[in-house]
A and B are shown apart, each in its own frame.
Chain A
Amino acid sequence: MTGHHLAQINIGRLIGPLDDPRLAGFVALLEPVNALADSSDGFVWRYRSEGLPDATTERPFGPDLLLNFSVWESPDALWEFTYRSGHLDVLRRRRDWFANLTEAYAALWWIPAGHIPTVAEAGERLRLLRENGPTPAAFTFRDRFPAPGPTEATLSS
């Protein structure tokens, strides 16, 4: 067990409002795919609105920008859920529901285990990735950075 977890933010521009019939397929998948994430190995935390099962009513980055914001034990755990589970088929169909974003839309960064990141923090990491490209502060699956060295707490345990 390392002293760090991996946080991820990704945003998507919807092709219409959530009650648009073209998005019915996506809306129907929210519950099962969120349940799949929650039960995946290495899942730690997922951002959601207070008292609601997901964060689809939150639009901190723009009126048509959905966010997907979560914490995982490792990049491999996140990779396995993202690309080696039923979630892959959602990604395969992303262009049915989401417009193409020309700027970076997904960022990864390391957090101390136990820390719950804020939306402001996630927005800042996305901004860093867009401005500087992949760095240890904000990176991508294709250009990963290792977790920071073990903390004192993990050395003494």
Chain B
Amino acid sequence: MTESGISAVGALADPLRRALYEHIASQGSEVSRAEAARATGAARNLVGFHLDKLVEAGLLDVALRKVSGRDGPGSGRPAKLYRRADRQLSVHLPPRDYETAAHLMAAAVERHGADTALYASAREEGVRRGRALPAESGRAAVADAAAYLAAHGYEPAADPAEDPAGNRAGDTPGDPVPPAEIRLRNCPFHTLATAFPPLACGMNLELIRGLFEGAGITDATARMDAAPGRCCVLVSPTGGPSKTKNIDME
């Protein structure tokens, strides 16, 4: 583990910093100091101090932008906007390097053309994990699926697609309509998916399908829907209409 990795983890020991980091990570967009203060109920100055500590630790990125979207005189001072840094942080004590192992194994799978063997292994592991958690009743299937994904290291988010009025599903408090589709904000296999896209994304898909299968979730279906800047897997209601453009493969 690197010195900067130790500092970054250390920066999260403070409960308010951790709450700020988690709030910002859960937002798909940039967050201002005022919004972060509102979300955590802490004073703005204190929030500003801790946000800057998180930037110093490399956990957040900051950009100066005019929130009004206007330029020129009278458009106001630019505000600091925070978002989760792209940087990946791995902490293993004692030091371990599973990442290199994963890349080498992926290279071997690719060299041998053993994609389907990897997918089958991922499916089985997903089923095993899904079985370990009994399904909760009384929730919409897609919301249920989201809870399972969150319990397994994913960051599910309602599809940010907007209706013509610019409202996002689930935006309104008490919105009775559950999100129709779930995207995953993070890719748990990000560096692997960049180096071996078909293998890593196919493995991820089968892991999620297995998770649903093992947990008995039949009303949500996972499929590939790759596009720039997001996870390749999309979860939608089984048999439901899809508003995303996708080539139907199955």
List residues of chain A with CB under 8 Å of any chain B CB: 25, 29, 32-33, 36, 80, 82-96, 99-100, 102, 142
Contacts and interface: CB of A to CB of B under 8 A. Distances in A.
B247 A84 contact: no
Contacts of A82: 197
Interface in B101-157: 111-113, 115-116
Given A85-B226, A88-B232, A92-B224, A142 B195 contact: yes
Given A25-B249, A32-B247, A86-B247, A94 B115 contact: yes
Interface in B195-250: 195, 197-198, 201-202, 205, 223-229, 232, 246-247, 249
B249 A88 contact: no
Contact of B249 (A93, A99, A100, A102): A93
B226 A89 contact: yes
B249 A95 contact: no
Contacts, number: 56
B198 A92 contact: yes
A102 to B, nearest CB: 8
Q: Ordered nearest first, which 10 A-B pairs have the shortest CB separation? A: A100-B113, A91-B198, A83-B197, A86-B247, A92-B202, A88-B226, A89-B224, A95-B115, A84-B228, A32-B247
A22 to B, nearest CB: 14
Nearest to B247: A86
A81 B228 CA distance: 9
A82 B201 CA distance: 13
Contact of B247 (A29, A80, A91, A95): A29
20 contacts: A25-B249, A32-B247, A36-B247, A80-B228, A84-B227, A85-B227, A86-B224, A87-B226, A88-B201, A88-B226, A89-B223, A91-B198, A92-B201, A92-B205, A93-B249, A94-B198, A95-B113, A96-B116, A99-B113, A102-B111
Interface residues of B, number: 22
A99 B112 CA distance: 10
A32 B224 CA distance: 16
Contact of B246 (A25, A86, A95): A86
B19 to A, nearest CB: 33
Interface of B: 111-113, 115-116, 195, 197-198, 201-202, 205, 223-229, 232, 246-247, 249
Nearest to A31: B247
A64 B132 CA distance: 46
Contacts of A93: 249
A32 B245 CA distance: 12
Contacts of B115: 92, 94-95
Given A95-B113, A99-B113, 9 more contacts: A33-B247, A82-B197, A83-B198, A84-B228, A88-B198, A89-B249, A92-B115, A92-B198, A95-B115
A37 to B, nearest CB: 12
Contacts of B112: 100
Nearest to B245: A86
A96 B247 CA distance: 17
A78 B229 CA distance: 15
Contacts of A89: 223-224, 226, 247, 249
Nearest to A88: B226
A85 B249 CA distance: 13
Given A33-B247, A80-B228, A93-B249, A88 B113 contact: no
A25 B226 CA distance: 19
Contacts of B232: 84, 88
